[in-house]
Amino acid sequence: MMLSLLVLSLPCMPAAAAQDGAPLISGKPPITMLYDARFEAHDPGPEHPEQAGRVRAIVERLQQSAAWQPLLRWPAFSAATRADLLRVHSAAYLDLLDTEQAGVHAGEHNLLSTGDTVISPHSLAVATLASGAGMAGVDAVMSQPSATAFALVRPPGHHATRDRGMGFCLTNHIAVAARYAQQRYAIQRILIIDIDVHHGNGTQAIFEADNSVFYFSAHQHPLYPGSGRPAERGVGAGLGYTMNIDVPPGSNEQVLLHALDQQLAPAMQQFRPELILVSAGLDAHAGDRLGALQYSDAGYGNIATRIKQLADAYAQGRMLWMLEGGYVPVQNANAVEAILAALLR
């Protein structure tokens, strides 16, 4: 398949500098951060909101801070393979991605046959590397060099369904990570928490009939893609394992915090997740380009605290956070710092 060849064909760019094994002052292990400079090779065009700078700003903030350096480790990782992606996506869709990617020689174009996603010459290779970052994050939290991992990836993934790319997304990184955790580590119950301003329709669709994965999303309504109504609770064996929360435009993080406390936490007393994955969209931040919510930096820290409490109660503290949206670079850096500070407490 062309996926591995595409990754190998990217220009060699160094991953972020590593501080593997650096001790945390509190005695806790460092958080594993997953980032690779090759993520910048995905180029949807100069006017597109999903620019490399939105992730680069986070990485530069963390790596240029002497205070953060001993608290984080930055290991290298590999791209997901076709077999890894087939746990989530159909063979026909992966073949289609190969075919369309092969036709992009310069510039960019829309993935017209599957949705509204823009691709450029290296986009598929970058997306596959981002899915691999999620798998590496699972390895980190399961093998315990870290209790927590944060994958600073692009493009986002949570809109990608089994057989369609949409909403800037080509492969569904969080879904790939979940299926990998189940296959590699025999994890029986996984909670996915989606805090992006947009509903993760792809993630919901992939797991809606599965009672081994509980999907929770609190998102602005109305807003793209229009799915994620509270009445959508899963189907078949998965009925009751999907929970959607409408957040009205103009709301701050209190709606989400209330839902975490009053709806998700009680449900987890029965589900008891062994691993928590977070679709960490930052586009609910006040002033973001693509949303109309008003989450604050402190609010993201409070959200992280609530999720950490669930992880400590049920999952031995094991969490993987994966970047989704967030389109104002400095705000992304502020929010991630607030999240990491909360996770390290």
**Token pair for residue 103?**
């036709």
- What is the predicted pLDDT for the residue at 105? 67
Asked if 105 is an active-site residue, the reply is no
This model's pTM is above 0.95: no
Would you tell me how many other CB atoms lie within 10 Å of the CB of residue 297? 17
| 233-263 b/e (C-beta count within 10 Å ≥ 16 → b) | ebeeebeebbbbbbbeeebebebbbebbeee
Q: Among positive and negative, which fits the CA dihedral 256, 259, 264, 265? A: positive
Q: What is the architecture, at CATH level 2, of domain 2-9+19-343?
A: 3-Layer(aba) Sandwich (3.40)
Longest dimension (CA), the chain: 52
- What is the predicted pLDDT for the residue at 145? 87
**Token pair for residue 32?**
């594993």
Q: For residue range 197-248, what is the model confidence (pLDDT) as tens digits?
A: 999 999 999 999 999 999 999 999 999 999 999 999 999 999 999 999 999 9
Domain boundaries, the chain: 2-9+19-343
Q: Which of 42, 158, 159, 221 is catalytic?
A: 159
**Tens digit of pLDDT at every position of the chain (345 positions):** 444 434 434 444 334 443 444 444 457 789 999 999 999 999 999 999 999 999 999 999 999 999 999 999 999 999 999 999 999 999 999 999 998 888 886 666 888 777 788 899 999 999 999 999 999 999 999 998 899 999 999 999 999 999 999 999 999 999 999 999 999 999 999 999 999 999 999 999 999 999 999 999 999 999 999 999 999 999 999 999 999 999 999 999 999 999 999 999 999 999 999 999 999 999 999 999 999 999 999 999 999 999 999 999 999 999 999 999 999 999 999 999 999 999 999
- What is the predicted pLDDT for the residue at 264? 98
Cα(264)–Cα(55) distance, rounded to whole angstroms?
Answer: 29
Q: For residue range 51-78, what is the model confidence (pLDDT) as tens digits?
A: 999 999 999 999 999 999 999 999 999 9
User: Strand 275-280 to strand 242-247: parallel, antiparallel, or no bridges (unpaired)?
Assistant: unpaired
User: What are phi and psi for residue 214, nearest 5 degrees?
Assistant: -100, 125
**Token pair for residue 65?**
């801070």
Closest C-alpha among 303, 156, 337, 141 to residue 216 = 303
Query: Are the CB atoms for 216 and 192 separated by under 8 Å?
Result: yes
